Structure 1
Amino acid sequence: MKVLGTVLGAVALILLVPSARGSEASRTCIFQTLSEPDHKFCRGELEVIYPEVGDVSCSYVPKCHGYRRKLSEEWDAPRVRFPWAKKNKKYVLVMVDPDSPNRTNPKHRFWRHWLVTDILGSDLRVGKIKGKVLTDYSQPKPPRYSGYHRYQFRLYRQPEHKTIALSPEDKKSLGTWDLKDFVEDFDLGHPVASTQFLTKNHKD
């Protein structure tokens, strides 16, 4: 009976440990999947890959191992991979925070964190974001006590022979960006893939 109890205890322990993401240390963290309706935003198998944690698509970034702090202060732009991209087509990648300054009062939505156009599908397939950078990558830095923020990645097929640019007004400010108008102005249509992760201030 002691042997059986030991075996069952070991099995239970294994079941409690989440599947590995990134480094060995990350195995002690719980990577919680988003619940509805946030989960519905994730479609098309778009991957967002940061150092140590791996793909954070459709999940909460855990606080353990300083991951939230590193996300806000250390890590540069993630690898974004879309395995179904058409090799010879171009794409537009948008990263925004729709919850600025907080989710209950998002008066500064959409806060633009990254905007890249002219990304070749062949690069997207392997997670390389090469193209024309209209907005440099800005690390997610939710204000203290503002709760969880969604950081959304939207991937659009870029119409052929279409040059995409920001207006002078949009260049001056990252916040209160009219994403809907931007999409309509350049005939981007619906995203071919989208995903998001949630995080909050690492001191909260």
Structure 2
Amino acid sequence: MSLPSLHHFRFSNLVLKTAIGLQICPKRYGHHIRGKPPGKARSIDQRLEELNYKDPELSRRIDIGLPLGRPSEKTKQKQIEFLKNVRQNMKMEKESRNKTLRIDLDETYKEWSATVAPQFIKTIADHYGIFRDLYGDAYFNPKVALNVSFSSGDVLHPVYYGNTIKPSDAQEKPQLSFVCEKDTLWTLILTNLDGHFTESEKEYVHWFVGNIPEANIEGGETIVNYLQPFPPKGTGYHRFAFVLYKQDKRIDFSNLRCNDISDYDLQARTFSTLEFYRQHQDHMTPAGLAFFQSHWEASLKDFYHDKLQMKEPRFEYDFEPPYIRPQEWFPLRMPFNLYMDKYRDPKKINKEFLERKMQKVHPFKDLSTPLPFPNAEPWSKQYIPSWLKLEITKSRLKWGRINDIE
């Protein structure tokens, strides 16, 4: 019988210690469970449900629009008969399969506007947060279809539900039309939901026409003259909403009138749709909606200087400085010049690159022509370290700070 070796004793001792350690001190050896076990801990769905919970009484939305009404039994029966006839029409099925079927788009749009358009527009407006920023917890189904289009030269730019229109294409007031009953009064308001400079809860009203008789925009009272969109640089897309209200009587808007003031007085154009509706909700009801988006472009620089008589505002994101770990005694696998630049003042680095650039600039001579093939240029005969070769390559190719300065 052979005796066990010393290696066998060491291995057995290690296994014994490991087994005892796992039982006595699970945090020291191997994986340990953090928090409650799966049977008692809350799942991700339960945590998200708690975070996104809203009180039903507070989150209940109020419909402030015109009633949609339900289709009559005759209309439903007519639609069913129409669908049956379409499905049994072999000629229409063949044309549809061969992509030769033609339909009347005007008639289709009219039918769509009278049936499913209000719910469709409401869904899109909720997606863009239009009702939330206009009326808070209230909403309405746009029952009256608005046909809005801007003209720029010979080109028409229609307004749908969230499409993009440039400020240069919306310099003049748009062409607007809608279908309504006789002897009715309407109010049309165009506001910018995202553009107020000083008050985040306020808007700028870009157009306000009240007491419009039977869809005749020119026959209404112009309370606020039209002003083109002017989203500042760096603020992204701005939402511009046309809201049409139906009035049950003639309303006096003299306290809101500012067409006798300068068209470019932004303080006079400060507006709140929610306060306006609360003031006149007994005599008007929102009925139509159309909105578009617009963003900054270079043409707005002259608009700010010449029209608004102000310096063009520019907004930038204020990023936090990047995290730089403490210096090491011997950093491995890192060029020392790039490593040291992390801990230097960026102003001094930019100054060095600027001085390097100014050495090649002469007040009476043109700039030197760039190398046609930078990577094919030979190095000088004298010894050049690898880190300096990298800097020369960047200078030739205009990479990094060199490109920023030039």
State the TM-score, normalized to the length of structure 2. Answer: 0.34
Partner of 1:117: 210
* Pair 106,54 (structure 1): closer, same or farther in 2 beyond 3 Å: same
Q: Which residue of 1 aligns with 2:7?
A: none
Higher helix share: 2
Tell me the SS of whatever aligns to 2:205.
Answer: strand
Which stretch of the first structure deviates more once superposed, 49-58 or 88-97?
A: 49-58
The answer to whether residue 159 in structure 2 is matched with residue 69 in structure 1 is no
Structure-1 separation of matches of 2:125 and 2:256: 36
C-alpha distance 101-168 of structure 1, shift in aligned 2 (>3 A) = closer
Counterpart AA for 2:145? E
Name 2:223's counterpart in structure 1.
134
Higher strand share: 1
| 2:233 corresponding residue in structure 1 | 144
User: Corresponding residue for 1:182?
Assistant: 276
Deviation at 1:35, TM superposition (A): 8.4
CA apart distance, 1:36:
6.1
- Distance in 1, matches of 2:276 and 2:162, equals 27
Q: From the CA coordinates, give the structure whose radius of gyration is larger.
A: 2
CA shift, 1:39, in A, is 8.7
Q: TM-score, normalising length from structure 1?
A: 0.64
Structure 1 unmatched runs, 5+: 1-33
Tell me the residue number matched to 2:174: 78
CA contact (8 A) 2:211 2:250 kept: no
Aligned AA for 2:194? Answer: D
| Partner SS for 2:278 | helix
What is the CA-CA distance between 1:193 and the residue it aligns to? 0.6
The amino acid across from 1:50 in the alignment is F
Other structure's SS at 2:169 match:
helix
Give aligned pairs, total: 155
Distance 1:167 1:49, change over 3 A: closer
- The match for 1:193 among 277, 288, 291 is 288
| Distance in 2 (alpha carbons) for counterparts of 1:119 and 1:92 | 6
The one-letter code of the counterpart of 1:201 is W
Q: Is the 8 A contact 2:150 2:169 kept in 1?
A: no
| Equivalent in the alignment of 1:166 | 255
Match of 1:50 in 2: 150
Name the CA shift for 1:182/1:165 in 2 (closer, same or farther; >3 Å): farther
Aligned Cα root-mean-square deviation (Å): 3.0
Identical aligned residues as a percent = 20
Contact 2:186 2:247 in 1 (8 A): yes
**1:79–1:129: 8 Å Cα contact kept in structure 2?**
no
- 3-state SS of paired residue (1:181): helix
Letter in 2 for 1:61: T
Say if 1:197 and 1:188 are closer, same or farther in 2 by CA, change over 3 A.
farther
Q: Does 2:200 correspond to 1:107?
A: yes
Q: Would you say the 8 A contact 2:186–2:215 is kept in 1?
A: no
8 Å Cα contact 2:238-2:295 kept in structure 1: yes
Which structure 2 residue ranges, 5 or more long, are not aligned? 1-123, 132-140, 262-266, 301-406
Alpha-carbon distance in 1 for matches of 2:147, 2:177? 5
CA distance in structure 1 between the partners assigned to 2:210 and 2:158 by the alignment: 22
Cα 1:132–1:167 shift into 2, 3 Å? closer
